[in-house]
Structure 1
Amino acid sequence: MEEEHAARRLRVAPIVGIALGAVFLALGVAAFLFGGGPIVGAIGLAGGVLTLAAAVFVLVRP
């Protein structure tokens, strides 16, 4: 039973990371488009890309 919960927990974390990365990307694009400034937008985009990369890496590692 405990192994089943551990396996589920390992799948939930990357999925939450992917969702969070998508939110960061959307906020970065919104900052560029609606005048939040290029630095704020770049930080949002970089954070989104790095979060997505880490989540995908954790999801597909053996």
Structure 2
Amino acid sequence: MDKEKYYFIKGKNKAITISYLLCEDFKIVDDRFDSNNKFYVFKKSNRLFEVMSKMKNIKNESSSL
């Protein structure tokens, strides 16, 4: 897969959350270095990066409570 067109995420829960917020599915691919690991792949888009930024802000806000 082309790294310039796709964004790879290692965490399944994070991928599920992003998928829900984007209303888009992700692809699952094997880690080429470790067959026991998977990557969850999204097409790069502005919406993807906006969602990830908002998730990061929420996480930072909740950790400061």
TM-score range relative to shorter protein: 0.3 to 0.5
More helix by share: 1
Q: Please give the TM-score of this superposition, normalised by the length of structure 1.
A: 0.37
Greater Rg over alpha carbons, structure: 1
Structure with higher strand content:
2
Q: TM-score, normalised by structure 2?
A: 0.35
